[in-house]
Amino acid sequence: MHRRFLVLSLNICLVAFSCQPDKARTEVQAKSLDFFNALKKDDEIGMARLYPGFRNFDQYYKSDSGKIISIGRASGIITVNVDNRFTNKLGKLSQETISLFFKSDSLGNVTLYDSKGLCDFNENNEYIFGTKTGCINTRIDTSDQQILRKLKLAKQVMLDKTVLFYLELKTKVRITTWNWDAGYGGSGSGQGIVHNGSTYSVPNVKYKVTYKNLIGNTITTDEGYVTYDALDAGDSKSFSFYTSYIGGASKASIELLFDEQKITDYLSKIDWTGNECEEYFKSHPDTLTYP
C-alpha cells in the first residue's frame, strides 16, 4: 500500500514538474505580447506594470508590431526574443531584435525583470562618456538595466567633469578687448577679441551684449557666435557684432556664453584614460551610488 502511494505521488510530482516549463512558457509568451501591445499604444503605465524596470528608461524604441521569434531557457532565466518593427512619420522603417528576460519566483510566477535592445544607447553622450571613462564595461554591461544602473555612475562623473570644464572656461576664456558704438537708425555695433587660455579646445563660443540706459537698466540684449568652429587652446579669435535696434542705449556690457549641451557633446568626444570613474569614486566615496 505504501509502495503504491509512493509511486502514485512520484507520478503526480513528475507530471506537475514536466508541466511547469510549459506553464512558464505560456505565461512569458502572454506577458511579452501584452508588453508589446502596450508599447504599440505608447502605454507607459501598462509597460511599467508588466516591467517595473521600464520606469528607468528616459527613451525607448516605439513599435508598430512585435513578433516573437524565439523563447529559450538557461540558468533559470527565460529569454524571449522579439522582432520589433516601427515606421516613423517620414515612412522610414526601423527593425530591431528586442530581448525580454523573465525569472520565476518560488511559487512559479514569472517576472519581466530586464531587457536588451529596448533602447539605443549608442548616441547617448553619457553612455559614450561612461564607456570611455570606465563607468560602463561594454563586455559586461550588456542588458538595458545593467547599462541604466551604470549610467547613474557616468552621470555623476560627467557632472563633475562638466563643472570643472565650465569653471575653467569661465576663468580662462576671456574677451581681452572690445568696443562698441551707436549707429544710424538706432543700431549698435562693435568688435572684440577672445583668447582661449584654457587647456581645452572650446566649441561654439557665444557672446551676449547687454545694452543699457544711463542709470544702468537693461534695454535689450543680443547674442551671437564668436566662432562656429572650436577655439583651440592658446588661440585668439576676433569677432564683430551688429544689433539693428538698441533703443537709444548709452551703455553696454558683454560676456561669453558656453552652451551646456555643447560641453557635454565635447566631453563625450574626449579620449579619456578609462580610469576616471574609479578615480572619481575613490576621491568621492560618499557620492557612490553604485548598484
Do 94 and 185 belong together in one domain? no
Confidence category of residue 289, pLDDT binned at 50, 70, 90: low
Do 92 and 35 belong together in one domain? yes
Query: What pLDDT is recorded for position 21?
Result: 61
Do 178 and 288 belong together in one domain? yes
Do 177 and 82 belong together in one domain? no
Query: What pLDDT is recorded for position 143?
Result: 98
* pLDDT tens for each residue of 79-120: 999 999 999 999 999 999 999 999 988 777 899 999 999 999
Do 169 and 104 belong together in one domain? no
Output phi, psi for 250, to 5 deg: -115, -10
Where is the domain boundary, 90, 120, 150? 120
* pLDDT tens for each residue of 152-203: 999 999 999 999 999 999 999 999 999 999 998 999 999 999 999 999 889 8
Query: What pLDDT is recorded for position 20?
Result: 53
Do 107 and 12 belong together in one domain? yes
Do 130 and 257 belong together in one domain? yes
The more confidently predicted of residues 221 and 105 is 221
The more confidently predicted of residues 17 and 183 is 183
Do 107 and 27 belong together in one domain? yes
Amino acid letter, residue 290:
Y
Q: What CATH number has the domain bearing residue 193? A: 2.60.40.3230
Do 99 and 192 belong together in one domain? no
Number of domains in the chain: 2
Q: What CATH number has the domain bearing residue 92? A: 3.10.450
Q: List, in sequence order, every beta strand (DSSP E) within 144-225.
A: 173-182, 188-196, 206-212, 218-225
Do 111 and 177 belong together in one domain? no
What distance in Å separates the CA atoms of residue 188 and residue 248, rounded to the nearest whole number?
Answer: 9
* pLDDT tens for each residue of 253-267: 999 999 888 889 999
Long-range contacts of 2-5 (CB under 8 A, 24+ apart): none
Report yes or no: 202 and 258 within 8 Å, Cβ to Cβ.
yes
For 60-124, the DSSP string reads ----SEEEEEEEEEETTEEEEEEEEEEE-TT--EEEEEEEEEEEE-TTS-EEEEEEESSS--TT-
**Number of other CB atoms surrounding residue 30 within 10 Å:** 11
Where is the domain boundary, 120, 140, 164? 120
Do 225 and 272 belong together in one domain? yes
Do 277 and 154 belong together in one domain? yes
pLDDT at 38 over 80: yes
Rg of the chain on CA atoms, in Å:
29
Where is the domain boundary, 120, 154, 188? 120
* pLDDT tens for each residue of 229-284: 889 999 999 999 999 999 999 999 999 999 888 889 999 999 999 999 999 999 98
Range of the domain at 207: 121-291
